[in-house]
Amino acid sequence: MEYKTMISRSKGEILKKKEWPGIRTYENTVTRIEPNLLIIEIGRLIPFMKGENIKFFPLNMPSIEIGFIHIIGIILEVSYFGNYCELQVDDGTGLLNVMYNTKRHFLGKRKYIEMQNSNNDKKSTSIQKIEDLQPGKHVYLQGFLSLNNYKNTNFKNKSPSENFWCSQPLLFAVKLELISEKEYYKKMYAWFGSAESRYT
């Protein structure tokens, strides 16, 4: 009987355990953070509806709202859909699908180059080609997390946890930067340090 009570209590403590005890929270206050995440951590975030948008919080920590996230990885696949390209990225801990607006990329590049040209009194408006996104490239991404089927009509009829497990995480990237292998491993070292500080 004592053994069963002990096991039951242990399970209860595990279920109530905060995912990121290293992050300070405040009573009756929602803290919005923009963490460097390992892809494996994304699978443990809890989704919820905020207006018409999907947001996430760490397990048993609803007072923390995940805003922008920062991801690094190696591109495995690239597909194009109109103005968007879909990337599959692997950071060694898991896989993540990423949607990136190539039109925004081109406009951003053009605006930057036109500003440079204006300062230098030049008229060239050539821009870097999106074809640089190829499998095997190291990439640094910033963006918002969502789920790949949250607009499905059945989504709102299920609990957030059910929606999560029947969906796949999807990152809508607003910034994409190709980085060198050296920079990738330098960032990965920092990412693991960030993860360790959250869990301890």
Cα–Cα distance for residue pair 87/92, rounded to 1 Å:
15
Per-residue model confidence (pLDDT) at position 92: 94
Whether residue 78 is contained in a domain is answered as yes
Question: Has residue 49 been placed in a domain?
Answer: yes
Q: Give the residues of the chain that fall short of pLDDT 50.
A: 1-11, 108, 110-117, 122-127, 153
Domain assignment of residue 108, yes or no: yes
For position 137, what pLDDT does the model report?
93
pLDDT score, position 118: 52
Work out whether strand 64-66 and strand 31-33 pair parallel, antiparallel, or are unpaired: parallel
**Is 122 within the bounds of a domain?**
no
**pTM for this one?**
0.76
User: Looking at the domain assignment, is residue 15 inside a domain?
Assistant: no
Q: Is residue 38 part of a domain?
A: yes
Q: Look up the CATH number of the domain holding residue 84.
A: 2.40.50.140
The answer to whether residue 72 is domain-embedded is yes
Domain that holds residue 38: 31-115+132-148+160-195
- For residue 39, tell me if it sits in a domain: yes
Q: How many domains does the chain have?
A: 1
pLDDT at 123: 41
